[in-house]
Amino acid sequence: MGTYHNPQTHYYMPDAAPTTLSARNLSRRFGQREVIHGVSLKLKHGEVLGLLGHNGAGKSTTLQMLTGALLPHSGQIEICGFDLARQPGQAKARIGFLPETPPLYREMSVDNYLAFAARLHLVPRGRIAGSVAETRRRCGLQDSGKKIIGTLSKGYQQRVGIAQAIIHQPEVIILDEPTVGLDPSQIRDIRTLIRELGDAYSVILSTHLLGEVESICDRVEIMHHGRIIYGDSSAKMQQYGHQPGFIVTLRAPPGLSELQAIAGVQQVEQLSATQFRILHVIDANPGAALLALAAQRGWQAEQLVPLQSSLEDVFVKITESETA
């Protein structure tokens, strides 16, 4: 695994996978107000990228520029090597897009709507029926072909929205808040579908739900006030600014000075009569040494649990430090 660096941020991605989307220094104004400031993104095949940020951070505007629905005032976008401004036909043919409000015709049946979407995406006439059937299967709509879209639940309407985005088998799938307004069961189903799509294609999804990032995204970019302020793998994001340590339970504990004297220990905090929070240096985990001493000296160690930062803690820390 390698890490891509640019002056703005850094990205974590497989070295060997081909690049399917590249955006460099995008900016966008509404009137005299600049709302997107020098945003750069890279997406690899087989990757799910989460664009994370508060409401109003600029996520939807950025996604609209990446799909060609909104022109940037400066910057460049390439989709599978095609320049979106100079070669819009070739570039857009490789994009599937689900906006925050799915573009559904509620009075149409699922089959008729997907066939219509296939024609819009220039799927050859002889392949439309097969594409509709395959897309229904992938999106869990096997029994919904004859149903009117307006009669479906919100979760199934969201599936139809994703289906129209992938009917032409695009290399890049862009989803704007794909699980907003769904119940927990529907959210789980849609997340499973997105993860499966990410294995076969490339997916960018915007979200303000941290659970979304944790469960399906390989990599995270955080937007704040129209800028990307952080980018890395979701696993590394959890370690951002994290002081390594653990909580240990000792039924017959020694004095704090004995715990503090263990090699690698930086700080000891007593939480209760038998429980201690121990922080240590990054490269030297003293957990094994502590357990060995506990056995030798009769401290009666019962539990040792590593400290972990939640994604919510990390997100707040990153955005607050940027604001400061």
Q: What is the pLDDT of residue 321?
A: 67
Task: Tell me the two tokens of residue 270.
Answer: 């007593």
- Residue 30: other Cβ atoms inside 10 A: 10
Q: What is the pLDDT of residue 14?
A: 47
The CB-based long-range contact list for 151-155 (8 Å cut-off, 24+ gap) reads: 152/110, 153/186, 154/181, 154/182, 154/186, 155/182, 155/183, 155/185, 155/186, 155/189, 155/190
Task: Tell me the two tokens of residue 260.
Answer: 């503090």
Q: What is the pLDDT of residue 300?
A: 93
Residues in the chain with pLDDT < 70?
A: 1-15, 238-243, 308-310, 321-324
Q: What is the pLDDT of residue 242?
A: 62
Q: What is the pLDDT of residue 238?
A: 65
Query: What is the Cα–Cα distance from 297 to 253, expressed in whole angstroms?
Result: 10
DSSP letter for 310, please: -
Q: What is the pLDDT of residue 127?
A: 97
- DSSP string over 48-64: EEEEE--TTSSHHHHHH
Q: What is the pLDDT of residue 45?
A: 94
Q: What is the pLDDT of residue 186?
A: 86
- Strand, coil or helix: what is 248? strand
Q: What is the pLDDT of residue 1?
A: 33
Query: What is the Cα–Cα distance from 4 to 8, expressed in whole angstroms?
Result: 11
Q: What is the pLDDT of residue 322?
A: 63
* Residue with tokens 């499966």, as numbered in its chain: 196
Q: Which domains does the chain have, with CATH numbers?
A: 2-237 (3.40.50.300), 245-307 (3.30.70)
